[in-house]
Structure 1
Amino acid sequence: MPTLKPLLLALLSLSAARAGKVPFSVTLSPHDPALACHSASTPVLTFGPPPPGTHSLAVLFWDQRPNQLSGRWLVFDLPLKTTRLDTQDASRLQVGGGKVALNDAGQPGYTALCARGRHDIYVDFYALDVPSLGVPAGTPLRKVHTLIHQHKLREVKAHLVRVMP
């Protein structure tokens, strides 16, 4: 019964919230200055606690437009205690105790949205079953993303829509 799993996860999240516990989650403000064109800083992301069995965390910020998907920022090998990534220089390869991949533009760190039109922005937050993915900072995003999916215990997403003039 494939429809029971989403319902069960929703009920678990609701019961955790009622018990005063923050569920495994990721939050991005739609007003974050890092979402402005040519921003030279990273977005602020806030995380809920990971599920049991997690050994490290990863977060992927990506932008989807018609006929194009672009990985803008990927931070991996984050320590379990990470609850927030604060804004900092977008080109850094070390963030919050974790490593940063080369993005889909082939640049180190984060690249801001600049193309006109609608952007569906997604932030994927991953709980991983290994303390490290075993690759250095600056590894291409697609390679790190493949490794994340091999070690993923759980994933949650944040989504927002941004229209660039």
Structure 2
Amino acid sequence: MKKKVILIGLPILVAALAFTFYRMGGFREIELEVVENPQIELSGLRFVGIPQDRQLRQSFEQMEQVLQQHPEARLHTIYFREPAGKLDTMEVFVGIEKKWLTAAQPGFENLNLSAPQAAVAHIHRHRFVMPNPETVKASLRDFAKANKLPEPTLFIDQIVNPEEVRVIGISPIQQ
């Protein structure tokens, strides 16, 4: 009897999980494109510390408040240094495009990036089935190489909405 339940129930469970994964966009490919002369002008907050630091959360919360005032703006994050563990130091920039800010914000840093070309990944998936960041970076590097672009050294995550993310891979020109 138990074998019969397992033999019937297991395939149904696997099919239900696969269907859920499909509905959340888990099987969608990462769309890649080349963008000419990207000019990225951001204003935001830079955090250096460990992932559990309260200041990191406060930086994101402060940017969320700015985003509420400008709903058409998009949150951008740049991880200059990613932590390998909970106690490793990380460096992240959290910001929005400067054009949305009419006045200088206290404590905000301006970041201007440009490059001759950039590789851009468009990811349309539910946040629970988003690909691993390293997978996206590898896809952008491979795409850049195949299209004879400079290898991306900086990756800018642009959160369009909870189910859409753009990752811009560039080799910025120093300004």
**Same fold flag (TM > 0.5):** no
- Structure 1 length-normalised TM: 0.25
- Structure 2 length-normalised TM: 0.24
Look at both structures and tell me which one has the larger radius of gyration over its CA atoms.
2
Instruction: Give the structure with the larger helix fraction.
Output: 2
